[in-house]
Amino acid sequence: MSDRTVHRSWGRLPTKGSSRIVNLNWRHDELPSDSLGQGGLLCHGNGRSYGDSCLNDEGTLLLTRGLDRIIDFDPATGLLECESGLLLQELLELMLPQGWFPPVVPGTQLITIGGAVANDIHGKNHHLASSFGSHIRSLELVRSDGSRLQCSPSEHAELFRATIGGLGLTGFISSVRLQLKSVSGGDIDQEMIPFSNLAEFFTANEDSEKRFEHTVAWVDCAAPASSLGRGILICGNHAEGESTRKARGRSLISVPFTPPISLVNGPSLRLFNELYRQKQTMGSRRTRIHHQPFFFPLDSVRNWNRIYGPRGFYQYQMVIPPESSEAAIGEILHQIKLSGTGSFLAVLKRFGNQEAPGLLSFCRPGTTLALDFPNRGERTTALLDRLDQITLDAGGAVYCAKDARMSGPSFRTYYPQWQELENLRDPAFSSNFWRRVTESPS
């Protein structure tokens, strides 16, 4: 009922392992039973996790994209129940014309709802809306013992909390009930605020958070040492009235093949960052734009992850607690500068102080920075180890959905509650990531 295939995650780092592939098409079906003793099961949505949390070498990947049905929707309240393999893009196409928007969206709409739950994803509105899990009213969890559990804050509450941000390890999330947000159209009123250093960012951001639902900053990683920490704060609110702006359509541009070497290198990084800075600072500070370029700029280039060449890339995202945010992020930018490897895109965002909905949620009070690095072997991992040390010393954490290399001891320090998830994990479910960070010696 399946073939073995090598699956890569979005970071396209080379892998040796292969997995048995089973497509899930019907949420009422039983899970494949021949799982135990064969490397275990793991659900795999649209494969947008960057590292190895969506991989299960020598085991079985249950592909969920066939589960893309709406189960119920109340256009009066915006309460949506859908199967877990529905893409955010498909949800938007169906719900935006009816005046409803996902409560939280990440930087791509090409992720499944199940993946959004399992990674408890966050967006530019975290300071107001918290993370995706905070908007889940209930979900159905199918366990390998055949049980089907309706989990919510009041039913199987422990499993509900463990499943949000639970990296798919508590079982198969078959369906999700999600509260959408009411909007009048698909446009965004955007405002750009340049800043010349991190201190300015924190001041400008604090002011913007009072005026804007969505805030995020781009940091110029290729800036000279004297201007380190400069960037642009990009803010937005859902615009009043119907959509007036057109999207560029589904991915007009595509990277058609993987170039033999990474196209992301010193000169191209400096050029890109300079062009980006000029484009953003030269245009009007205030504009009304379509929501797609505002929320999902990378989706306009299909297969953009191929530009990093056959060796792939590492994404690194950490969060630093408020009291040490400025110093630690300054130090991280400094270390990147010293290493000579810039990041193509560096994205900075302050999280709000809400209590995280998931047991292993990444979001916590503080400031998060997301970075991309082409895989240059040891040079890159050595830099990431240094960034890990800064994050550890500052009492921060690294985002599991993007990680491919953090050490077991680091993970267990970032997520001391991991043992609770281990206890609630479905014994038939596992992933490369989970084995890597929990089985390595301390």
Residue 202: C-alpha distances to residues 39, 209, 364 (Å) = 46, 11, 17
For residue 346, the cross-strand partners are 371
Q: Pull the structure tokens for residue 63.
A: 């592909």
Q: How far is the CB of 74 from other proteins (least distance, A)?
A: 10
Residue 285: C-alpha distances to residues 122, 279, 327 (Å) = 25, 11, 29
Q: How far is the CB of 35 from other proteins (least distance, A)?
A: 17
Q: How far is the CB of 152 from other proteins (least distance, A)?
A: 20
Alpha carbon 265 to chain centroid distance?
24
Nearer to other proteins, 98 or 184 (CB): 98
359, 161 in Cβ contact below 8 A?
yes
Q: How far is the CB of 239 from other proteins (least distance, A)?
A: 26
Q: How far is the CB of 407 from other proteins (least distance, A)?
A: 38
Q: How far is the CB of 68 from other proteins (least distance, A)?
A: 8
Q: Is 246 in the site for other proteins (CB under 8 A)?
A: no
Nearer to other proteins, 82 or 370 (CB): 82
Quick one: which of 3, 76, 154, 416 contacts other proteins (CB under 8 A)?
A: 3
Nearer to other proteins, 98 or 417 (CB): 98
Nearer to other proteins, 21 or 192 (CB): 21
Q: How far is the CB of 80 from other proteins (least distance, A)?
A: 9
Instruction: Specify the stretch interacting with other proteins by CB under 8 A; choose among 22-30, 35-43, 103-111, 183-191.
Output: 22-30
Establish how many alpha carbons lie within 13 A of residue 207's alpha carbon, considering only the half-sphere containing its beta carbon: 10
Nearer to other proteins, 67 or 348 (CB): 67
For residues 61 to 100, the per-residue mask of contacts with other proteins, x marking binding by CB under 8 A and - elsewhere, is: -----x--xxxxx---------x----------x------
Q: How far is the CB of 27 from other proteins (least distance, A)?
A: 7
Nearer to other proteins, 27 or 291 (CB): 27
Q: Is 434 in the site for other proteins (CB under 8 A)?
A: no
433, 178 in Cβ contact below 8 A?
no
Give the residue among 185, 221, 176 at the shortest CA–CA distance from 81.
176
Instruction: Specify the stretch interacting with other proteins by CB under 8 A; choose among 19-27, 123-131, 276-284, 432-440.
Output: 19-27
Nearer to other proteins, 47 or 358 (CB): 47
Nearer to other proteins, 73 or 201 (CB): 73
For residue 373, the cross-strand partners are 314
Q: How far is the CB of 328 from other proteins (least distance, A)?
A: 46
351, 399 in Cβ contact below 8 A?
no
- Report the amino acid identity of residue 338: L
Q: Pull the structure tokens for residue 431.
A: 């992933």
Say how far apart CA 302 and CA 291 lie, in whole Å.
18
Count of residues engaged in binding other proteins, rule: CB under 8 A: 16
Full DSSP string of 141-177: EE-TTS-EEEE-SSSSHHHHHHHTTSTTTT-EEEEEE
For the chain, the residue count is 442
- 3-state DSSP assignment of residue 368: strand
**Interface of this chain with other proteins, residues 23 to 42, rule: CB under 8 A:** 23, 25-28
The CA angle 263-266-269, to the nearest 5 degrees, is 70
Give the number of other CB atoms < 10 A from CB of residue 77.
Answer: 11
Nearer to other proteins, 101 or 373 (CB): 101
- Applying CB under 8 A, the residues found at the interface with other proteins are 1-3, 23, 25-28, 66, 69-73, 83, 94
